[in-house]
Amino acid sequence: MTCESCEVSCQRFGKHRNGLRRFRCPLCKRTYTEAHQLTLGDMYLSHEKAQLVIQLLIEGNSIRSTQRITGVDQNTIMKLLVLAGKKCEKLMGRMIVNVPVKDIECDEIWGFVQKKEGHKAPEEAHDESIGDAYCFVAIERNTKLVLNFALGRRSKATTDVFIEGLRHATSSQNFQITTDGFAPYVKAISDTLADRVDFAQLIKVYRSGTEGEGRYSPAEISNTEVVPVLGNPDPARICTSIVERQNLTIRMQMRRLTRLTNGFSKKWENLWAAYCLHFAYYNFCRIHRTLRVTPAMEAGIADHVWDIAELLA
């Protein structure tokens, strides 16, 4: 360590409270601390502690439980989540491009930011940063790879953005796609993917609730309807079971989507970062029990199981 003023070599002068060595100039007595190792952005948190925080968040811990386990301040945890989410978003956009696929299933999972849509005050009616937040998810049925996702309202605009991203993620070879009965899918897929898909909708018809049924009881399916929309879809491959099972995985792994708790997101940016982190970890780090490899390995876009450090590199 050389003094910036005197340009002479400094002498050892103990350690900083975080364990880094300190130095002092013998002439001007100015003290210096050796350079910090930055984790993400300008964060001084150690790599080991940052990876532990991310692992806990991925496994469904809340912000405050992660704080109690690691001793890291909740504001630091939130900042780390947002930074990790941005890295994962770029990773997904870079790695999942022109992927050969055979069967794709699409669905939407409901969540909310700050408050539910029906609880918004009149002055908040047009504020789209709070209220219902639907995540559109597209998964490849055979490799279990999440190809694309989009967060927004359950609207035509979000559907169009979602399908545009799906076109970017898939190769030009023909494949079959199945969605639920949400109407905007028909025009979005017809306009964007008509040159490469056979498209069908699987519409579930729910019976009305009976007297005495609990408020949060799941509705019972009375029957399903298969509606071919585009091309020549194979009836045996018209299915949404895999993406619906993925919705369960999301709710089990993301504390923000646990029903009937106070763990919901308070900011749209934080919910988006949590989704980015979840899907990147699911694709590249988590071994799927039926595949015995990660979805990215099964799809041929990765050759080994990634760890958290690689995910955040």
| Structure confidence at residue 224 (pLDDT) | 85
Q: Could you tell me the pTM of the whole model?
A: 0.86
- What percent of the chain has pLDDT above 90? 77
| Structure confidence at residue 212 (pLDDT) | 59
pLDDT digits (tens, 9 = 90+) for 30-60: 998 887 666 666 677 888 889 999 999 999 9
| In 207-278, beta strands by DSSP E | 221-230
| Structure confidence at residue 34 (pLDDT) | 84
For residue 195, what is the enclosing H or E element?
none
pLDDT digits (tens, 9 = 90+) for 213-255: 556 666 777 788 899 999 999 999 999 999 999 999 999 999 9
Work out the angle between the directed axes of helices 241-253 and 268-284 (0-180°, nearest 10): 120
CB atoms within 10 A of CB 49: 15
| Structure confidence at residue 221 (pLDDT) | 78
Higher-confidence position of 168 and 38: 168
CB 31 within 8 A of CB 22: yes
pLDDT tier, 78 (very low <50, low <70, confident <90, very high otherwise) = very high
Indicate whether 89 pLDDT > 60. yes
Backbone torsions φ then ψ of 295, nearest 5 degrees: -55, -35
Higher-confidence position of 204 and 79: 79
- DSSP character for 236? G
